[in-house]
Structure 1
């Protein structure tokens, strides 16, 4: 074996060289769709390594292009179908969705850049529903191996251990949580009965991504992070949060539609003190479903020229 091949073989266990490699094919696993069931389909060019299949149409599609997706540097697809970025700040927590019965925060990791903002990715999420707390996170990784599971899940402070193997499941009858593996490692589909579903996958930053975007990722940390896809069953009209606001009735996007990278601002509104805190400025968790109506009252300043016409201010 030549020295070059020995060198490449050694590098193949490095997160920078190997990246996240899969077969690049997907199969419908629902036997109801017999004409599609079990047929290997090639992933689309936009996600050549990782995708899902619509069994009804028997066509593969990219997870990160569906409403409710949170991927990459975080790139969101809102409930309204509009794509935007929210960068937040590295090593801080932000409210992704907040509703009277459901609250989801995300912990952002990242690196400083010369572009005036942090490069950031969602490393973990903290979900509150009823009295329960759910954690889904990516462990820190230096050398990435496809067959090693780097996902960490906890329910109410207890580690969740899912049997190995594609299709294996874990259930909690007390909380209504069910978790199914959708790959041999690093990919699950979780459902909280009557509330929401999330597909979560742990992926690293590859050498190619680092080169193209200038992330300057080094061999000591792959910056393993989550790619997420949410579906919600029963959100209220008061829903808010970086992603949650896009599901509110009458919501109009606040990003520049024609921009190459439409960015959602509002760090101050969505910032949380920790992963399981509900103290962000737009928090709705635990409130009466109609309490948000108070937030819509007009603001009036007395004693100046900015008071609203038709309003009389008295001491």
Structure 2
């Protein structure tokens, strides 16, 4: 488990591999305790020549029955029917988006590449009170909780999450700390949600035959940190 703070209103690379690249957009709120509170508002996923956007809509008041998630594929909004079990499918790419519940949660799958479960959640009044967020009625800071599963990542994989799957990775976080902090924000910073210009980017590069073919799958869950000081990721 580790925590990554990032910076509010900035984009950071979560995973970069020759076959897939994922950036996250952080939103946040100023804090008198030092670092700002931050949450992930959206992710931009690049694979092949395609762009997939999954994000929380900015809403002032949370309504559980409202659709607070926005999905775009190659710039076009995807509207998955709101009934439980409904799905949208792209026969050209094999991309599938399914609703396990009526709204605010989707399962996204790309065969042999990734599976993502994304859920939109708000900052509740109780959370705001306990952690001192001071969230006002004009913005409930709707954000994403994410579960990733990756298939056949190459040893060149990098990013906030991706680096932890390198075969020679050595953790720099203090594991014995109550909240191990993953630094390196400058290395993972991107100029936009679909930008590939972070220092560790490898998307689209050639994979050498002796590095390919890793059939092991990798799972990680990312959500809000206790106290809001960034995202917490658990493998």
Per the shorter chain, which TM-score range?
A: 0.7 to 0.9
Counterparts of 1:174 and 1:212, CA distance in 2: 48
Instruction: Indicate conservation of the 8 Å contact 1:132/1:175, yes or no.
Output: no
Counterparts of 2:78 and 2:201, CA distance in 1: 28
1:188 is matched with which residue? Answer: 106
Of structures 1 and 2, the one with the larger relative CO (CA 8 A, separation 6+) is 2
In the alignment of these two chains, the number of paired residues is: 210
Counterparts of 1:115 and 1:86, CA distance in 2: 17
* Residue 208 of structure 1: how far off its partner (Å): 1.3
Counterparts of 2:46 and 2:14, CA distance in 1: 12
Structure 1 gaps of 5+ residues are 1-82, 294-315
Counterparts of 2:162 and 2:94, CA distance in 1: 22
Counterparts of 2:195 and 2:55, CA distance in 1: 16
Counterparts of 2:161 and 2:84, CA distance in 1: 29
Q: What secondary structure sits across from 1:211 in the alignment?
A: helix
Task: Give the TM-score taking structure 2 as reference length.
Answer: 0.87
| Aligned 1:77-156 pairs, distance under 5 A | 83-156=1-74
Task: Give the TM-score taking structure 1 as reference length.
Answer: 0.65
1:6 is matched with which residue? Answer: none
Counterparts of 1:289 and 1:269, CA distance in 2: 22
Match of 1:161 among 63, 75, 79: 79
Counterparts of 2:79 and 2:27, CA distance in 1: 25
Match of 1:171 among 82, 89, 98: 89
Tell me whether 1:259 sits opposite 2:174 in the alignment: no
Structure 2 gaps of 5+ residues are 212-235
Tell me whether 1:277 sits opposite 2:195 in the alignment: yes
- For each residue in 1:9-28, what CA deviation from the matched residue of structure 2 results, as whole angstroms up to 9, or x when unmatched? xxxxxxxxxxxxxxxxxxxx
| Aligned 1:273-312 pairs, distance under 5 A | 273-290=191-208
Counterparts of 1:115 and 1:280, CA distance in 2: 29
1:228 is matched with which residue? Answer: 146
Q: Which is richer in strand?
A: 2
Tell me whether 1:216 sits opposite 2:134 in the alignment: yes
1:246 is matched with which residue? Answer: 164
Q: Which is richer in helix?
A: 1
Counterparts of 2:143 and 2:5, CA distance in 1: 14
- For each residue in 1:50-102, what CA deviation from the matched residue of structure 2 results, as whole angstroms up to 9, or x when unmatched? xxxxxxxxxxxxxxxxxxxxxxxxxxxxxxxxx11101000000000000010
1:268 is matched with which residue? Answer: 186
Structure label with greater radius of gyration: 1
1:4 is matched with which residue? Answer: none
- For each residue in 1:187-221, what CA deviation from the matched residue of structure 2 results, as whole angstroms up to 9, or x when unmatched? 00000121000000000001111112111111100
* Residue 249 of structure 1: how far off its partner (Å): 1.2
| Aligned 1:37-76 pairs, distance under 5 A | none
- For each residue in 1:152-185, what CA deviation from the matched residue of structure 2 results, as whole angstroms up to 9, or x when unmatched? 0000000001011111111001122101101111
Q: What secondary structure sits across from 1:208 in the alignment?
A: helix
* Residue 251 of structure 1: how far off its partner (Å): 1.8
- For each residue in 1:235-276, what CA deviation from the matched residue of structure 2 results, as whole angstroms up to 9, or x when unmatched? 000100001111111322211111122111111100000000
